[in-house]
Structure 1
Amino acid sequence: MVRHAARQAGLHHTPLHLLHVTGHPDDPTGTTADEDGHGPPTPDAPVTERLAELARSEFPGITVTTETVPGRPAPVLLERSAEAAFLVLGHRGSGGFPRLSLGSVSQQVATHADCPVIVVRPGETPADPDNRVVVGVDLGDIGAQALDVAYEEAAARGASLQLLHATFHPGEVPTGPSLVAPDYEALDAAALEILRTEAAKRLDRFPDVTVHARVERVRPAAMLTEASRDAALLVVGTHGRGGLRRLMLGSVSGEVLHRAAAPVLVVPGRDGDHRAA
Protein backbone atom coordinates (compact mmCIF):
# COMPACT_ATOMS: atom_id res chain seq x y z
CA MET A 1 0.00 0.00 0.00
CA VAL A 2 2.73 2.48 0.95
CA ARG A 3 4.70 1.65 -2.18
CA HIS A 4 1.62 2.31 -4.30
CA ALA A 5 0.99 5.61 -2.49
CA ALA A 6 4.63 6.63 -2.96
CA ARG A 7 4.52 5.76 -6.65
CA GLN A 8 1.26 7.70 -7.02
CA ALA A 9 2.86 10.73 -5.39
CA GLY A 10 5.85 10.45 -7.71
CA LEU A 11 3.69 10.16 -10.81
CA HIS A 12 1.77 13.32 -9.91
CA HIS A 13 4.66 15.25 -8.36
CA THR A 14 2.90 15.63 -5.01
CA PRO A 15 4.20 15.05 -1.47
CA LEU A 16 3.31 11.86 0.36
CA HIS A 17 1.75 12.19 3.81
CA LEU A 18 1.55 9.02 5.93
CA LEU A 19 -1.33 9.33 8.39
CA HIS A 20 -1.72 6.90 11.29
CA VAL A 21 -5.05 7.11 13.14
CA THR A 22 -4.85 5.68 16.66
CA GLY A 23 -7.76 4.70 18.85
CA HIS A 24 -10.56 6.99 20.03
CA PRO A 25 -9.85 10.69 20.70
CA ASP A 26 -10.91 10.16 24.33
CA ASP A 27 -8.58 7.17 24.72
CA PRO A 28 -5.42 8.33 26.58
CA THR A 29 -3.50 5.16 25.77
CA GLY A 30 -3.06 5.98 22.08
CA THR A 31 -3.78 2.39 21.04
CA THR A 32 -4.10 1.34 17.44
CA ALA A 33 -7.75 1.01 16.44
CA ASP A 34 -9.46 -1.39 14.13
CA GLU A 35 -11.91 -0.23 11.47
CA ASP A 36 -14.57 0.50 14.09
CA GLY A 37 -12.19 2.44 16.32
CA HIS A 38 -11.59 -0.37 18.79
CA GLY A 39 -8.82 -2.87 19.22
CA PRO A 40 -6.06 -4.20 21.45
CA PRO A 41 -3.11 -1.93 22.16
CA THR A 42 -0.22 -2.20 19.71
CA PRO A 43 2.91 -0.04 19.46
CA ASP A 44 2.30 2.73 16.90
CA ALA A 45 5.22 5.17 17.25
CA PRO A 46 7.64 3.39 14.88
CA VAL A 47 5.03 2.52 12.24
CA THR A 48 4.93 5.66 10.14
CA GLU A 49 8.66 6.31 10.44
CA ARG A 50 9.53 2.81 9.19
CA LEU A 51 7.17 3.25 6.27
CA ALA A 52 8.49 6.73 5.56
CA GLU A 53 12.02 5.37 5.33
CA LEU A 54 10.81 2.66 2.96
CA ALA A 55 9.11 5.25 0.73
CA ARG A 56 12.14 7.56 0.73
CA SER A 57 14.56 4.77 -0.10
CA GLU A 58 12.52 3.34 -2.99
CA PHE A 59 11.20 6.67 -4.32
CA PRO A 60 13.93 9.20 -3.53
CA GLY A 61 12.35 11.97 -5.59
CA ILE A 62 9.30 12.46 -3.33
CA THR A 63 8.82 14.39 -0.11
CA VAL A 64 7.46 12.23 2.73
CA THR A 65 5.90 13.48 5.95
CA THR A 66 4.26 11.55 8.78
CA GLU A 67 1.56 12.19 11.33
CA THR A 68 -0.15 10.24 14.10
CA VAL A 69 -3.54 11.47 15.32
CA PRO A 70 -6.22 10.14 17.68
CA GLY A 71 -9.67 9.40 16.33
CA ARG A 72 -11.77 6.96 14.38
CA PRO A 73 -10.23 6.14 10.98
CA ALA A 74 -13.21 6.84 8.71
CA PRO A 75 -14.14 10.32 10.04
CA VAL A 76 -10.51 11.40 10.16
CA LEU A 77 -9.83 10.23 6.61
CA LEU A 78 -13.01 11.80 5.30
CA GLU A 79 -12.07 15.12 6.90
CA ARG A 80 -8.58 14.98 5.37
CA SER A 81 -10.01 14.11 1.95
CA ALA A 82 -11.14 17.73 1.52
CA GLU A 83 -7.53 18.85 1.11
CA ALA A 84 -5.88 15.79 -0.44
CA ALA A 85 -5.18 14.90 -4.05
CA PHE A 86 -5.72 11.19 -3.30
CA LEU A 87 -6.34 8.89 -0.35
CA VAL A 88 -4.71 5.45 -0.53
CA LEU A 89 -6.14 2.66 1.61
CA GLY A 90 -5.08 -0.95 2.04
CA HIS A 91 -6.70 -4.24 3.01
CA ARG A 92 -6.41 -6.11 6.27
CA GLY A 93 -2.95 -7.52 6.75
CA SER A 94 -1.29 -5.34 4.09
CA GLY A 95 1.18 -2.51 4.44
CA GLY A 96 1.73 -0.84 7.79
CA PHE A 97 -1.91 -0.59 8.81
CA PRO A 98 -2.99 -4.22 9.21
CA ARG A 99 -6.31 -3.36 10.83
CA LEU A 100 -7.49 -1.14 7.99
CA SER A 101 -9.45 -3.60 5.87
CA LEU A 102 -11.89 -3.47 3.00
CA GLY A 103 -14.73 -3.23 5.48
CA SER A 104 -16.62 -0.31 6.94
CA VAL A 105 -13.68 2.11 6.75
CA SER A 106 -12.74 1.54 3.14
CA GLN A 107 -16.37 1.40 2.03
CA GLN A 108 -17.28 4.62 3.83
CA VAL A 109 -14.21 6.49 2.67
CA ALA A 110 -14.43 5.29 -0.94
CA THR A 111 -18.09 6.29 -1.12
CA HIS A 112 -18.03 9.63 0.70
CA ALA A 113 -14.54 11.14 0.29
CA ASP A 114 -14.15 14.50 -1.43
CA CYS A 115 -11.05 13.34 -3.32
CA PRO A 116 -10.31 10.20 -5.35
CA VAL A 117 -9.65 7.11 -3.20
CA ILE A 118 -7.38 4.23 -4.19
CA VAL A 119 -8.02 0.84 -2.55
CA VAL A 120 -5.00 -1.43 -2.89
CA ARG A 121 -4.86 -5.21 -2.63
CA PRO A 122 -1.09 -5.84 -2.59
CA GLY A 123 -1.42 -9.58 -2.16
CA GLU A 124 -3.36 -9.88 -5.43
CA THR A 125 -1.69 -7.14 -7.49
CA PRO A 126 0.63 -8.59 -10.14
CA ALA A 127 4.32 -7.87 -9.62
CA ASP A 128 4.66 -6.81 -13.27
CA PRO A 129 1.24 -5.48 -14.38
CA ASP A 130 0.35 -4.50 -17.92
CA ASN A 131 0.83 -0.79 -18.55
CA ARG A 132 -2.93 -0.42 -18.82
CA VAL A 133 -5.59 1.62 -17.03
CA VAL A 134 -9.21 0.41 -17.10
CA VAL A 135 -12.25 2.63 -16.54
CA GLY A 136 -15.85 1.50 -16.21
CA VAL A 137 -18.35 3.78 -17.97
CA ASP A 138 -22.06 3.96 -17.14
CA LEU A 139 -23.75 5.35 -20.28
CA GLY A 140 -26.80 6.35 -18.23
CA ASP A 141 -24.66 8.74 -16.19
CA ILE A 142 -21.26 9.28 -17.77
CA GLY A 143 -18.99 10.65 -15.08
CA ALA A 144 -16.75 13.23 -16.76
CA GLN A 145 -14.70 13.46 -13.58
CA ALA A 146 -13.97 9.73 -13.53
CA LEU A 147 -13.08 9.69 -17.23
CA ASP A 148 -10.78 12.69 -16.85
CA VAL A 149 -9.01 11.11 -13.88
CA ALA A 150 -8.63 7.84 -15.80
CA TYR A 151 -7.03 9.76 -18.68
CA GLU A 152 -4.73 11.60 -16.26
CA GLU A 153 -3.64 8.31 -14.69
CA ALA A 154 -2.97 6.74 -18.09
CA ALA A 155 -1.02 9.80 -19.24
CA ALA A 156 1.07 9.90 -16.05
CA ARG A 157 1.98 6.23 -16.47
CA GLY A 158 2.44 6.33 -20.24
CA ALA A 159 -0.24 3.63 -20.24
CA SER A 160 -3.01 2.65 -22.60
CA LEU A 161 -6.60 3.23 -21.51
CA GLN A 162 -9.56 0.84 -21.79
CA LEU A 163 -13.06 2.34 -21.81
CA LEU A 164 -15.43 -0.46 -20.82
CA HIS A 165 -19.20 -0.58 -20.79
CA ALA A 166 -21.16 -3.68 -19.85
CA THR A 167 -24.88 -4.18 -19.57
CA PHE A 168 -27.15 -7.14 -19.12
CA HIS A 169 -30.76 -7.04 -17.97
CA PRO A 170 -32.82 -10.26 -17.89
CA GLY A 171 -35.87 -8.14 -18.78
CA GLU A 172 -34.33 -7.44 -22.19
CA VAL A 173 -34.79 -11.08 -23.17
CA PRO A 174 -38.26 -11.67 -24.70
CA THR A 175 -40.26 -14.46 -23.12
CA GLY A 176 -43.56 -14.42 -25.01
CA PRO A 177 -44.15 -16.05 -28.45
CA SER A 178 -45.12 -12.71 -30.04
CA LEU A 179 -42.27 -10.66 -28.55
CA VAL A 180 -39.42 -9.54 -30.75
CA ALA A 181 -35.90 -9.42 -29.36
CA PRO A 182 -34.20 -6.01 -29.34
CA ASP A 183 -31.55 -5.36 -31.95
CA TYR A 184 -28.65 -5.98 -29.60
CA GLU A 185 -26.10 -5.42 -32.32
CA ALA A 186 -27.46 -1.93 -32.99
CA LEU A 187 -27.67 -1.15 -29.27
CA ASP A 188 -24.07 -2.21 -28.72
CA ALA A 189 -22.90 -0.25 -31.76
CA ALA A 190 -24.63 2.87 -30.39
CA ALA A 191 -22.99 2.37 -26.99
CA LEU A 192 -19.58 1.94 -28.62
CA GLU A 193 -20.10 5.16 -30.57
CA ILE A 194 -20.82 7.01 -27.32
CA LEU A 195 -17.54 5.74 -25.85
CA ARG A 196 -15.67 6.82 -28.96
CA THR A 197 -17.30 10.25 -28.79
CA GLU A 198 -16.13 10.63 -25.19
CA ALA A 199 -12.63 9.63 -26.27
CA ALA A 200 -12.66 12.17 -29.11
CA LYS A 201 -13.53 14.96 -26.64
CA ARG A 202 -10.25 14.31 -24.82
CA LEU A 203 -7.96 13.78 -27.77
CA ASP A 204 -6.56 17.32 -27.69
CA ARG A 205 -5.78 17.13 -23.96
CA PHE A 206 -4.34 13.62 -24.02
CA PRO A 207 -2.91 13.07 -27.51
CA ASP A 208 -0.45 10.41 -26.36
CA VAL A 209 -2.98 8.15 -24.61
CA THR A 210 -3.93 5.12 -26.71
CA VAL A 211 -7.61 4.32 -26.12
CA HIS A 212 -9.48 1.04 -26.63
CA ALA A 213 -13.27 1.05 -26.21
CA ARG A 214 -15.24 -2.13 -25.60
CA VAL A 215 -18.92 -2.93 -25.06
CA GLU A 216 -20.17 -6.32 -23.86
CA ARG A 217 -23.56 -7.64 -22.85
CA VAL A 218 -22.41 -9.24 -19.62
CA ARG A 219 -22.56 -8.47 -15.92
CA PRO A 220 -20.61 -5.21 -15.33
CA ALA A 221 -18.82 -6.54 -12.24
CA ALA A 222 -17.70 -9.65 -14.11
CA MET A 223 -16.37 -7.60 -17.03
CA LEU A 224 -14.49 -5.15 -14.80
CA THR A 225 -13.09 -7.87 -12.57
CA GLU A 226 -11.79 -9.79 -15.56
CA ALA A 227 -10.35 -6.63 -17.16
CA SER A 228 -8.56 -5.76 -13.92
CA ARG A 229 -6.32 -8.83 -14.19
CA ASP A 230 -2.77 -7.68 -14.87
CA ALA A 231 -3.98 -4.06 -15.16
CA ALA A 232 -2.14 -1.23 -13.42
CA LEU A 233 -5.36 0.44 -12.21
CA LEU A 234 -9.16 0.13 -12.38
CA VAL A 235 -11.13 3.40 -12.24
CA VAL A 236 -14.81 3.78 -11.29
CA GLY A 237 -16.85 6.85 -10.40
CA THR A 238 -19.58 7.89 -7.98
CA HIS A 239 -22.91 9.60 -8.44
CA GLY A 240 -23.90 13.01 -7.12
CA ARG A 241 -22.95 14.93 -4.02
CA GLY A 242 -23.09 14.40 -0.29
CA GLY A 243 -23.50 11.37 1.90
CA LEU A 244 -26.21 9.65 -0.15
CA ARG A 245 -24.24 9.25 -3.36
CA ARG A 246 -23.67 5.75 -4.69
CA LEU A 247 -20.94 4.26 -6.81
CA MET A 248 -21.55 4.87 -10.50
CA LEU A 249 -21.81 1.18 -11.29
CA GLY A 250 -24.48 0.72 -8.62
CA SER A 251 -24.66 -2.66 -6.93
CA VAL A 252 -21.52 -3.91 -8.69
CA SER A 253 -19.31 -1.42 -6.84
CA GLY A 254 -18.91 -3.52 -3.72
CA GLU A 255 -18.16 -6.61 -5.78
CA VAL A 256 -15.53 -4.75 -7.80
CA LEU A 257 -13.84 -3.39 -4.68
CA HIS A 258 -13.75 -6.86 -3.15
CA ARG A 259 -12.78 -8.86 -6.23
CA ALA A 260 -10.72 -6.64 -8.55
CA ALA A 261 -7.18 -7.91 -9.07
CA ALA A 262 -5.82 -4.38 -9.60
CA PRO A 263 -5.91 -1.36 -7.30
CA VAL A 264 -9.30 0.38 -7.59
CA LEU A 265 -9.47 4.17 -7.93
CA VAL A 266 -12.88 5.54 -6.89
CA VAL A 267 -13.54 9.07 -8.18
CA PRO A 268 -16.21 11.28 -6.54
CA GLY A 269 -18.95 12.38 -8.90
CA ARG A 270 -18.92 16.12 -8.50
CA ASP A 271 -18.24 19.19 -10.60
CA GLY A 272 -14.87 20.90 -10.53
CA ASP A 273 -11.35 19.67 -10.07
CA HIS A 274 -10.22 17.72 -7.04
CA ARG A 275 -7.77 19.54 -4.82
CA ALA A 276 -4.10 18.77 -4.60
CA ALA A 277 -2.43 18.14 -1.26
Structure 2
Amino acid sequence: MDDDAMPRGPVLAGVDRGGQEYVVRCAAGQAALHRVPLHLLHVVGHDGTPVAGDGPVAPLERLVRAEFPGVAVTAETVAGRAPAVLVERSGQASWTVVGHRGSGGFSRLPLGSVSWQVAAHAANPVIVVRPGDTPADPEQRVVAGVDVADTSPISSHALDTAFAEAALRGASLELVHGSFHLGETPTGPGMAAPDFDVLDEAVRSALREEADKRRDRHPGVPVRLHAERLRAATLLAESSRGAALLVVGSRGRSGLRRLLLGSVSSEVLHTAACPVAIVHIARPH
Protein backbone atom coordinates (compact mmCIF):
# COMPACT_ATOMS: atom_id res chain seq x y z
CA MET A 1 0.00 0.00 0.00
CA ASP A 2 1.61 3.26 -1.10
CA ASP A 3 1.41 6.11 1.39
CA ASP A 4 -0.45 8.17 -1.21
CA ALA A 5 -3.16 5.50 -1.31
CA MET A 6 -3.69 5.54 2.47
CA PRO A 7 -6.80 7.27 3.84
CA ARG A 8 -6.09 10.97 4.41
CA GLY A 9 -8.88 11.93 6.78
CA PRO A 10 -8.20 13.03 10.36
CA VAL A 11 -7.32 10.71 13.19
CA LEU A 12 -10.44 10.30 15.35
CA ALA A 13 -9.93 9.79 19.10
CA GLY A 14 -12.85 8.60 21.19
CA VAL A 15 -12.51 9.95 24.74
CA ASP A 16 -14.51 9.29 27.89
CA ARG A 17 -14.52 10.90 31.34
CA GLY A 18 -11.07 11.38 32.85
CA GLY A 19 -7.79 9.52 32.49
CA GLN A 20 -7.76 9.84 28.72
CA GLU A 21 -4.33 11.36 28.23
CA TYR A 22 -2.91 8.01 27.13
CA VAL A 23 -5.52 7.73 24.34
CA VAL A 24 -4.99 11.30 23.20
CA ARG A 25 -1.19 11.06 23.14
CA CYS A 26 -1.37 7.90 21.04
CA ALA A 27 -3.86 9.51 18.66
CA ALA A 28 -1.87 12.75 18.40
CA GLY A 29 1.30 10.78 17.68
CA GLN A 30 -0.51 8.91 14.91
CA ALA A 31 -1.80 12.18 13.45
CA ALA A 32 1.70 13.66 13.53
CA LEU A 33 3.16 10.63 11.73
CA HIS A 34 0.55 10.81 8.98
CA ARG A 35 0.49 14.62 8.86
CA VAL A 36 -3.27 14.78 9.27
CA PRO A 37 -5.49 16.62 11.79
CA LEU A 38 -6.72 15.13 15.05
CA HIS A 39 -10.37 15.22 16.13
CA LEU A 40 -11.27 14.50 19.76
CA LEU A 41 -14.80 13.14 20.17
CA HIS A 42 -16.61 12.77 23.48
CA VAL A 43 -19.98 10.98 23.23
CA VAL A 44 -22.52 11.43 26.05
CA GLY A 45 -26.26 11.55 26.62
CA HIS A 46 -27.19 8.24 25.00
CA ASP A 47 -30.06 8.00 27.51
CA GLY A 48 -31.60 11.22 26.19
CA THR A 49 -29.98 13.59 28.69
CA PRO A 50 -28.74 16.84 27.20
CA VAL A 51 -25.11 17.49 26.40
CA ALA A 52 -23.70 19.96 28.92
CA GLY A 53 -20.43 21.72 28.15
CA ASP A 54 -17.37 20.18 26.59
CA GLY A 55 -16.78 17.45 29.18
CA PRO A 56 -13.15 16.32 29.17
CA VAL A 57 -12.27 17.49 25.67
CA ALA A 58 -11.17 21.06 26.43
CA PRO A 59 -8.21 20.07 28.66
CA LEU A 60 -7.29 17.28 26.25
CA GLU A 61 -7.33 19.73 23.37
CA ARG A 62 -4.96 21.95 25.36
CA LEU A 63 -2.71 18.95 26.01
CA VAL A 64 -2.39 18.30 22.27
CA ARG A 65 -1.65 21.94 21.50
CA ALA A 66 1.09 21.97 24.16
CA GLU A 67 2.72 18.61 23.44
CA PHE A 68 2.06 18.23 19.69
CA PRO A 69 2.20 21.80 18.34
CA GLY A 70 2.42 20.60 14.74
CA VAL A 71 -0.93 18.75 14.94
CA ALA A 72 -4.11 20.65 14.07
CA VAL A 73 -6.66 19.60 16.68
CA THR A 74 -10.41 20.06 17.06
CA ALA A 75 -12.71 18.77 19.80
CA GLU A 76 -16.39 18.01 20.05
CA THR A 77 -18.96 16.66 22.52
CA VAL A 78 -22.06 15.04 21.02
CA ALA A 79 -25.07 13.08 22.23
CA GLY A 80 -25.57 9.48 21.23
CA ARG A 81 -24.45 5.91 21.82
CA ALA A 82 -20.66 5.90 21.83
CA PRO A 83 -20.13 2.76 19.68
CA ALA A 84 -22.60 3.83 17.01
CA VAL A 85 -21.31 7.40 16.82
CA LEU A 86 -17.65 6.37 16.66
CA VAL A 87 -18.32 3.73 14.02
CA GLU A 88 -20.27 6.22 11.93
CA ARG A 89 -17.58 8.90 12.26
CA SER A 90 -14.83 6.38 11.43
CA GLY A 91 -15.97 6.52 7.83
CA GLN A 92 -14.49 10.02 7.53
CA ALA A 93 -11.32 9.21 9.51
CA SER A 94 -8.04 7.67 8.45
CA TRP A 95 -7.63 6.02 11.87
CA THR A 96 -9.77 5.73 14.97
CA VAL A 97 -8.09 5.49 18.38
CA VAL A 98 -9.94 4.22 21.46
CA GLY A 99 -9.08 3.09 24.97
CA HIS A 100 -9.35 -0.52 26.00
CA ARG A 101 -12.17 -1.59 28.34
CA GLY A 102 -11.41 -2.36 31.94
CA SER A 103 -8.42 -0.07 32.40
CA GLY A 104 -9.51 3.48 31.75
CA GLY A 105 -11.40 4.76 28.76
CA PHE A 106 -14.82 3.13 28.50
CA SER A 107 -13.88 0.97 31.45
CA ARG A 108 -17.16 -0.23 32.83
CA LEU A 109 -18.48 -1.95 29.75
CA PRO A 110 -18.18 -5.74 29.41
CA LEU A 111 -16.95 -7.70 26.39
CA GLY A 112 -19.36 -5.89 24.09
CA SER A 113 -17.44 -2.73 24.99
CA VAL A 114 -17.00 0.47 23.05
CA SER A 115 -13.43 -0.38 22.12
CA TRP A 116 -14.36 -3.88 21.03
CA GLN A 117 -17.36 -2.74 18.98
CA VAL A 118 -15.38 0.02 17.29
CA ALA A 119 -12.51 -2.36 16.53
CA ALA A 120 -14.95 -4.81 14.97
CA HIS A 121 -17.11 -2.43 12.96
CA ALA A 122 -15.10 0.68 12.05
CA ALA A 123 -14.72 1.56 8.40
CA ASN A 124 -10.95 2.12 8.59
CA PRO A 125 -8.09 0.94 10.84
CA VAL A 126 -8.51 1.20 14.61
CA ILE A 127 -5.84 1.48 17.29
CA VAL A 128 -6.82 0.13 20.71
CA VAL A 129 -4.58 1.26 23.55
CA ARG A 130 -4.55 0.82 27.33
CA PRO A 131 -2.77 2.74 30.08
CA GLY A 132 0.73 1.33 30.28
CA ASP A 133 0.50 -0.28 26.84
CA THR A 134 2.92 2.23 25.35
CA PRO A 135 6.37 2.08 26.93
CA ALA A 136 7.90 5.44 27.85
CA ASP A 137 10.68 4.69 25.37
CA PRO A 138 9.33 2.03 22.97
CA GLU A 139 11.63 0.11 20.68
CA GLN A 140 11.65 1.26 17.09
CA ARG A 141 9.81 -1.91 16.15
CA VAL A 142 6.44 -2.70 14.62
CA VAL A 143 5.07 -6.25 14.92
CA ALA A 144 2.71 -7.75 12.33
CA GLY A 145 0.78 -10.97 12.77
CA VAL A 146 0.93 -13.08 9.60
CA ASP A 147 -1.19 -16.12 8.79
CA VAL A 148 0.65 -17.66 5.83
CA ALA A 149 -2.41 -19.71 4.94
CA ASP A 150 -4.56 -16.59 4.60
CA THR A 151 -4.34 -15.11 1.11
CA SER A 152 -7.33 -12.79 1.56
CA PRO A 153 -7.27 -9.05 0.75
CA ILE A 154 -7.52 -8.36 4.50
CA SER A 155 -4.26 -10.20 5.18
CA SER A 156 -2.48 -8.38 2.36
CA HIS A 157 -3.88 -5.00 3.46
CA ALA A 158 -2.77 -5.57 7.05
CA LEU A 159 0.77 -6.35 5.88
CA ASP A 160 0.83 -3.30 3.64
CA THR A 161 -0.28 -1.20 6.60
CA ALA A 162 2.38 -2.70 8.87
CA PHE A 163 5.13 -1.88 6.35
CA ALA A 164 3.83 1.66 5.93
CA GLU A 165 3.63 2.22 9.70
CA ALA A 166 7.18 0.91 10.19
CA ALA A 167 8.45 3.19 7.41
CA LEU A 168 6.76 6.25 8.95
CA ARG A 169 8.32 5.49 12.32
CA GLY A 170 11.79 4.69 10.95
CA ALA A 171 11.26 1.34 12.66
CA SER A 172 12.06 -2.27 11.95
CA LEU A 173 9.25 -4.69 11.18
CA GLU A 174 8.86 -8.12 12.76
CA LEU A 175 6.66 -10.55 10.83
CA VAL A 176 5.31 -13.08 13.31
CA HIS A 177 3.66 -16.41 12.59
CA GLY A 178 2.51 -18.87 15.25
CA SER A 179 1.55 -22.26 13.89
CA PHE A 180 1.05 -24.72 16.73
CA HIS A 181 -2.19 -26.64 16.77
CA LEU A 182 -3.26 -29.95 18.28
CA GLY A 183 -3.47 -31.58 14.85
CA GLU A 184 0.31 -31.47 14.64
CA THR A 185 0.64 -33.78 17.65
CA PRO A 186 0.41 -37.58 17.14
CA THR A 187 -2.29 -39.08 19.34
CA GLY A 188 -2.22 -42.84 18.84
CA PRO A 189 -0.02 -45.91 18.39
CA GLY A 190 1.91 -45.86 15.16
CA MET A 191 1.08 -42.23 14.52
CA ALA A 192 4.03 -40.43 12.96
CA ALA A 193 4.75 -36.80 13.70
CA PRO A 194 4.86 -34.43 10.76
CA ASP A 195 8.25 -33.38 9.45
CA PHE A 196 8.46 -30.17 11.42
CA ASP A 197 11.63 -29.05 9.65
CA VAL A 198 9.78 -29.10 6.33
CA LEU A 199 6.77 -27.30 7.82
CA ASP A 200 8.97 -24.67 9.44
CA GLU A 201 10.88 -23.99 6.23
CA ALA A 202 7.61 -23.65 4.32
CA VAL A 203 6.47 -21.00 6.81
CA ARG A 204 9.77 -19.11 6.62
CA SER A 205 9.64 -19.23 2.84
CA ALA A 206 6.10 -17.81 2.84
CA LEU A 207 7.12 -15.01 5.20
CA ARG A 208 10.15 -14.17 3.02
CA GLU A 209 7.88 -14.05 -0.02
CA GLU A 210 5.50 -11.60 1.68
CA ALA A 211 8.42 -9.39 2.73
CA ASP A 212 9.95 -9.48 -0.76
CA LYS A 213 6.68 -8.29 -2.32
CA ARG A 214 6.98 -5.05 -0.37
CA ARG A 215 10.71 -4.32 -0.34
CA ASP A 216 10.61 -2.09 -3.42
CA ARG A 217 8.00 0.16 -1.82
CA HIS A 218 9.70 0.23 1.58
CA PRO A 219 13.41 -0.42 0.97
CA GLY A 220 14.46 1.24 4.23
CA VAL A 221 12.43 -1.03 6.51
CA PRO A 222 14.53 -3.79 8.13
CA VAL A 223 12.48 -6.99 8.36
CA ARG A 224 12.85 -9.82 10.84
CA LEU A 225 11.00 -13.10 10.39
CA HIS A 226 9.78 -14.81 13.56
CA ALA A 227 8.00 -18.16 13.32
CA GLU A 228 7.43 -20.62 16.14
CA ARG A 229 5.21 -23.62 16.80
CA LEU A 230 3.20 -21.72 19.36
CA ARG A 231 -0.36 -20.39 19.54
CA ALA A 232 -0.50 -17.31 17.35
CA ALA A 233 -2.09 -15.05 19.97
CA THR A 234 0.43 -16.15 22.61
CA LEU A 235 3.37 -15.51 20.30
CA LEU A 236 2.01 -12.11 19.26
CA ALA A 237 1.52 -11.07 22.89
CA GLU A 238 5.12 -12.04 23.66
CA SER A 239 6.44 -10.26 20.57
CA SER A 240 4.51 -7.09 21.43
CA ARG A 241 6.54 -6.41 24.57
CA GLY A 242 8.38 -3.15 24.11
CA ALA A 243 7.10 -2.68 20.55
CA ALA A 244 5.64 0.57 19.25
CA LEU A 245 2.66 -1.10 17.54
CA LEU A 246 1.16 -4.52 16.84
CA VAL A 247 -0.74 -4.83 13.54
CA VAL A 248 -3.30 -7.56 12.90
CA GLY A 249 -5.99 -8.03 10.28
CA SER A 250 -9.67 -8.44 11.12
CA ARG A 251 -11.39 -11.24 9.24
CA GLY A 252 -14.82 -10.41 10.64
CA ARG A 253 -17.72 -10.05 8.22
CA SER A 254 -20.23 -7.23 8.35
CA GLY A 255 -23.43 -8.33 9.99
CA LEU A 256 -21.89 -11.19 11.96
CA ARG A 257 -18.69 -9.26 12.25
CA ARG A 258 -18.98 -10.75 15.51
CA LEU A 259 -17.20 -12.06 18.22
CA LEU A 260 -15.40 -12.28 14.99
CA LEU A 261 -12.73 -9.82 14.80
CA GLY A 262 -11.15 -13.17 14.29
CA SER A 263 -10.19 -15.15 17.36
CA VAL A 264 -6.52 -14.08 17.27
CA SER A 265 -7.36 -10.39 16.81
CA SER A 266 -9.88 -10.54 19.64
CA GLU A 267 -7.45 -12.21 22.02
CA VAL A 268 -4.53 -9.87 21.39
CA LEU A 269 -6.74 -6.87 22.22
CA HIS A 270 -6.69 -8.21 25.77
CA THR A 271 -3.14 -9.57 25.98
CA ALA A 272 -0.83 -7.38 23.88
CA ALA A 273 1.72 -5.21 25.68
CA CYS A 274 1.58 -2.36 23.15
CA PRO A 275 -1.13 -0.55 21.17
CA VAL A 276 -2.94 -2.87 18.73
CA ALA A 277 -3.89 -1.76 15.21
CA ILE A 278 -6.89 -3.67 13.85
CA VAL A 279 -6.91 -3.38 10.05
CA HIS A 280 -10.01 -3.77 7.91
CA ILE A 281 -10.64 -3.30 4.23
CA ALA A 282 -12.21 0.15 3.97
CA ARG A 283 -15.94 -0.19 3.30
CA PRO A 284 -18.27 2.15 1.44
CA HIS A 285 -20.21 4.53 3.70
Q: CA 1:246/1:192 → structure 2, altered by over 3 Å: closer, same or farther?
A: farther
**Which residue is 1:17 aligned to?**
39
Shift of 1:82: 1.1
**Which residue is 1:37 aligned to?**
none
**Which residue is 2:9 aligned to?**
none
> What is the identity percentage for the equivalent residue pairs of Structure 1 and Structure 2?
57
Task: Determine helix, strand or coil for the equivalent of 2:74.
Answer: strand
**Which residue is 1:35 aligned to?**
none
Q: CA 1:71/1:243 → structure 2, altered by over 3 Å: closer, same or farther?
A: same
**Which residue is 2:67 aligned to?**
58
**Which residue is 1:123 aligned to?**
132
Task: Determine helix, strand or coil for the equivalent of 1:78.
Answer: helix
Shift of 1:240: 5.6
CA contact (8 A) 2:101 2:114 kept: no
Shift of 1:22: 0.7
**Which residue is 1:2 aligned to?**
24
Task: Determine helix, strand or coil for the equivalent of 2:91.
Answer: helix
Aligned length: 259
Task: Verify: 1:209 aligned to 2:221, yes or no.
Answer: yes
1:98-128 CA-to-partner distances (Å, cap 9, x unmatched) read 5576842111111111110000112242111
Task: Determine helix, strand or coil for the equivalent of 1:45.
Answer: coil
Counterpart code for 1:18: L
Aligned-residue CA RMSD (Å): 2.4
* Cα distance in 2 between the residues matched to 1:9 and 1:55: 11
Task: Verify: 1:178 aligned to 2:190, yes or no.
Answer: yes
Unaligned runs of 5+ in 1: 31-42
Task: Determine helix, strand or coil for the equivalent of 1:161.
Answer: strand
- Aligned residue runs from structure 1 range 135-174, under 5 A: 135-142=144-151, 143-174=155-186
* Cα distance in 2 between the residues matched to 1:20 and 1:100: 16
Counterpart code for 1:14: V
1:79-110 CA-to-partner distances (Å, cap 9, x unmatched) read 11111100000135877x55576842111111
Task: Verify: 1:237 aligned to 2:249, yes or no.
Answer: yes
1:14-44 CA-to-partner distances (Å, cap 9, x unmatched) read 10000110121x61333xxxxxxxxxxxx76
Decide which moves more: 240-249 or 158-167. 240-249
Task: Determine helix, strand or coil for the equivalent of 1:194.
Answer: helix
Q: CA 1:116/1:229 → structure 2, altered by over 3 Å: closer, same or farther?
A: same
CA contact (8 A) 2:251 2:262 kept: no
CA contact (8 A) 1:90 1:101 kept: no
Per the normalisation by structure 2, the TM-score is 0.84
Counterpart code for 1:257: L
Task: Verify: 1:83 aligned to 2:92, yes or no.
Answer: yes
* Cα distance in 1 between the residues matched to 2:92 and 2:110: 23
* Cα distance in 1 between the residues matched to 2:24 and 2:170: 22
* Cα distance in 2 between the residues matched to 1:119 and 1:101: 15
- Aligned residue runs from structure 1 range 98-117, under 5 A: 99=107, 103=111, 104-117=113-126
Task: Verify: 1:29 aligned to 2:50, yes or no.
Answer: yes
1:256 is aligned, of 248, 251, 268, to 268
* Cα distance in 2 between the residues matched to 1:246 and 1:207: 37
* Cα distance in 1 between the residues matched to 2:80 and 2:107: 14
Counterpart code for 1:107: W
* Cα distance in 1 between the residues matched to 2:248 and 2:65: 30
1:197-238 CA-to-partner distances (Å, cap 9, x unmatched) read 011010110010001111100011110111110000001101
CA contact (8 A) 1:120 1:263 kept: yes
CA contact (8 A) 1:158 1:209 kept: yes
**Which residue is 1:187 aligned to?**
199
Unaligned runs of 5+ in 2: 1-22
Task: Verify: 1:133 aligned to 2:142, yes or no.
Answer: yes
Per the normalisation by structure 1, the TM-score is 0.86
